[in-house]
Amino acid sequence: MNNTPSVSGSSAFSRQPRVRVSSPADVLAVVPHLLGFHPGKSLVVMGVGRPRARVQLAFRYDLPDPPDPVHAADIAEHAAEVLRHRRLSSVIGVGYGPGALVTPVADALAAALREAGLRLHELMRVEDGRYWSYLCQNPGCCPADGVPFDVRANPAAAAMTVAGLVAYPDRAALAGTLAPVTGAAARSMGQATHQARERAADLIAQASGPGAGRPARLLVEAGRRAVQEAIGTYRAGGRLVADEPVAWLSVVLAHLAVRDDAWSRMDPGFRAAHLRLWTDVVRRATPAYLPAPASLLAFTAWQSGEGALANIAIDRALAADPGYSLAQLLRGIMDAGAPPSAARVPMTPEQVAASYDLAESGAPEQPGGQVKPGCGRKGPRKQPSR
């Protein structure tokens, strides 16, 4: 659908805590923790599935402002398609904002879900610490002036926080965790990046000299070593503190063979360490070298069930390079609500190296690989398994 709206914050959970919710107030208390931030002027859609009627997916849309029936219908149809694709049995919808903005989208969602044969368990509007149900007609429990609630005082919210699912005040605050360094730190990284570029140019020149191997061979080998060393440091609980190794890593990742080597090493068992690594690189990389680490961060955030963070990382990558196709690929996957279980590494490091060697040698392509070299600016030839 050409007018499909972007899902600007989503979570498909891989580490969802077991928190029992038994009331609308409980549901509203956990929503910010499912998304990673407190939503505003938004429609949040939650898909409930088996076993035990658990929330399997939560995603968010910006409300059309001013109201737009066409945009509202696009949001509703997209939400219904995502939920139907995931085969979720029941749906909860929550609109945040004034009735003039929420109600047109809520009505469109209810109609789209009926059309898709999906059960709407609850549909609410939230504003100024009160909620209203679009489904409840009993003034005894659903008064006309709304039901007051306190998200922060709710035990369900406290349980989510204890489980490590922190809720930032808003999406901008979450995005701030990836904000680029400024001032002296930015100037120092700029100098380190200039030196890294010169180092890369020297390696390419050496590889291109008389009797040398293929151009960039030495750079790729040095880049793969840098990737392995950085990953090993973070898996061991350490961090790249100095500017030079971060700048070098950002520069070598601009080579697709190095970036895909890093991608292939994103074992979900170490996703917390990988999140720290790519967050550090994204915050410190200069704009020209941002798309690769930002895309790797997006992939790792997807593995971790942190859809909002993944989307913010994709935003950073595409702001630096709108044509960066790995970021575009991940944006499409996130918009489709794919679960973290689908975030499998595309190849082993050995397969990645062999694939690039084969491509550089000019030999006929062999079957078996899921992702071939070149999933950078020119676009992927195959997508990772979903």
For the chain, which residues make up each domain, given as ranges?
9-176, 184-361
Examine the pLDDT at 276 and tell me if it is beyond 70: yes
Axis crossing angle, helix 271-284 with helix 217-235, rounded to the nearest 10: 120
- Tell me: the pLDDT tens digits for 79-92? 999 999 998 889 99
Cross-strand partners of 90: 48, 119
When pLDDT is averaged across residues 22-42 and rounded to a whole number, the result is: 93
- Tell me: the pLDDT tens digits for 308-324? 999 999 999 999 999 99
What percent of the chain is modeled with pLDDT above 70? 86
103-112, 212-221, 284-293, 372-381: segment of lowest average pLDDT = 372-381
CA distance 316 to 252: 19
Round to the nearest angstrom and report the end-to-end CA distance of the chain. 20
The answer to whether the CB of 11 falls within 8 A of the CB of 307 is yes
DSSP 135-195: S---TTTS-TT-EE--TTT-HHHHHHHHTT---BSSHHHHHHTTPPP-HHHHHHHHHHHHH
